[in-house]
């Protein structure tokens, strides 16, 4: 299907991204997966090449470029080299943490943090989920109380992407138990603050190189200068940034769908059984036809969502529709493509086998499929 989403400048940028990935990521990714750790130096080089952080204003070292199509190009190219652990960290920086720092910071905070992000020297994380509170953010028990001009933070977070590597962690905490939804605030906790401890690096079934951690806060003294946004509006700040996060999940999902499908299509016309390529059997052709159709149709929705985001018109409901449907499609596409590979699909040397594990989380993080349907359903109910 022809797409008219991109201009020449995006295709020129694509070549820059490809060259960066071939030089800095492809030769190292297998080692990162084995070591369960991505070299920090790659983010310095990525930032230098404009692979992420393009939206940062020029005065802080960025390009002040807000066209989300560049972000989509990056997602597509990383998918093609099957570096999904790296893809998640880039998405975490570009689609989550950075936008909290761009949208909610004071001028003084921007001066402190944005130059480091623009240089790839500061890595961020977002800490919402707790052992007893996942999708139900109002159930969080992490708290912060005033002590003079500072805040004293106590609590625990879990499943925090880049929790070990992060230099800055945006932490959601309850600041007024009596204020309902207006009783939550966001704080930036920095590496080295007394009382801030990182727990074990969690052992996941997929995305091994992307570190995920438990975080502990015991009487962490957070200066008032590290309050992010408006006191008491933490939940609202979180909600307002979810469409960007969910669009990020959608673009990664559709990019991976197409990559795995194209590899499987080629495999089906190279692999022979009963004297002919397996793709010459009607049952296999029909299955490929169904997958190709679904991917093209969903691609159109994601492309439209990117255009809407650029125009400031992507709603939370439309982002939720894309997030659940594209991530569920990804799960189905990868599973069917693995089946078409037969026994080879179960071998970890094949990208489809690794994708089977790496993509399973897509229907969970950023809001589960059930939560996305609840958001859409509430909107339909008025």
pLDDT-based confidence at residue 132 (cuts at 50, 70, 90): confident
| Mean pLDDT of the chain, nearest integer | 96
Choosing among 3.40.50.920, 2.60.40.3880, 3.40.430.10, 2.40.110.10, the CATH entry for 125-232 is 2.40.110.10
pLDDT at 15: 98
Parse the chain into domains and list their residue ranges: 8-122, 125-232, 236-381
Burial class (CB in 10 A: 0-12, 13-18, 19+), 297: exposed
pLDDT in tens, 243-279: 999 999 999 999 999 999 999 999 999 999 999 999 9
pLDDT digits (tens, 9 = 90+) for 27-79: 999 999 999 999 999 999 999 999 999 999 999 999 999 999 999 999 999 99
- The pTM of this model reads 0.95
Residue 1 has pLDDT above 90, yes or no: no
| pLDDT range class, residue 12, cuts 50, 70, 90 | very high
Arithmetic mean of pLDDT, 108-122:
97
Q: What is the pLDDT of residue 377?
A: 98
Band of the pLDDT at 160, cuts 50, 70, 90? very high
Q: Is 245 a catalytic residue?
A: yes
Q: Which position among 24, 190, 245, 287 bears the catalytic label?
A: 245
pLDDT of residue 287: 98
Q: What does the pLDDT average to over 306-326?
A: 97
User: What is the CATH T-level fold of the domain 8-122, as seen in this structure?
Assistant: Butyryl-Coa Dehydrogenase, subunit A; domain 1 (1.10.540)
Superfamily name and number for 236-381: Butyryl-CoA Dehydrogenase, subunit A, domain 3 (1.20.140.10)
């Amino acid at each position: 299907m022809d797409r008219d989403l991109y201009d020449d400048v995006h295709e020129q940028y694509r070549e820059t991204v490809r060259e960066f990935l071939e030089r800095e990521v492809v030769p190292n990714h297998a080692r990162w997966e084995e070591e369960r750790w991505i070299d920090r130096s790659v983010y310095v080089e990525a930032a230098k090449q404009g692979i992420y952080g393009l939206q940062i204003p020029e005065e802080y070292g960025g390009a002040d470029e807000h066209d989300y199509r560049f972000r989509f190009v990056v997602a597509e190219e990383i998918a093609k080299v099957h570096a999904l652990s790296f893809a998640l960290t880039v998405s975490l920086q570009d689609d989550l943490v950075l936008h909290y720092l761009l949208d909610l910071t004071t001028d003084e905070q921007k001066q402190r943090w944005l130059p480091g992000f623009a240089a790839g020297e500061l890595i961020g994380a977002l800490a919402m989920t707790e052992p007893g509170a996942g999708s139900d953010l109002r159930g969080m028990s992490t708290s912060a109380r005033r002590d003079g001009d500072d805040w004293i933070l106590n609590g625990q977070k879990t499943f925090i992407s880049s929790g070990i590597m992060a230099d800055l962690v945006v932490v959601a905490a309850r600041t007024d138990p009596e204020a309902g939804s207006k009783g939550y605030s966001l704080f930036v906790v920095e590496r080295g603050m007394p009382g801030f401890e990182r727990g074990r690096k969690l052992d996941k079934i997929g995305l091994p190189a992307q570190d995920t951690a438990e975080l502990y806060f015991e009487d962490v003294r957070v200066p008032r200068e590290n309050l992010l946004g408006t006191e008491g509006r933490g939940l609202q700040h979180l909600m307002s940034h979810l469409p960007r996060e969910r669009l990020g999940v959608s673009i990664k999902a559709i990019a991976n769908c197409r990559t795995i499908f194209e590899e499987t299509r080629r495999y089906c016309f190279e692999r022979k059984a009963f004297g002919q390529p397996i793709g010459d059997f009607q049952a296999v052709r029909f299955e490929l036809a169904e997958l190709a159709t679904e991917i093209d149709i969903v691609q159109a929705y994601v492309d439209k969502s990117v255009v809407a985001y650029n125009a400031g018109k992507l709603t939370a409901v439309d982002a939720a529709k894309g997030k659940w449907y594209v991530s569920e499609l990804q799960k189905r596409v990868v599973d069917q493509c693995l089946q078409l590979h037969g026994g080879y699909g179960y071998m970890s040397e094949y990208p489809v086998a690794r994708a089977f594990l790496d993509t399973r989380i897509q229907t969970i993080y950023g809001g589960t499929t059930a939560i996305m349907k609840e958001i859409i359903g509430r909107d339909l109910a008025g």
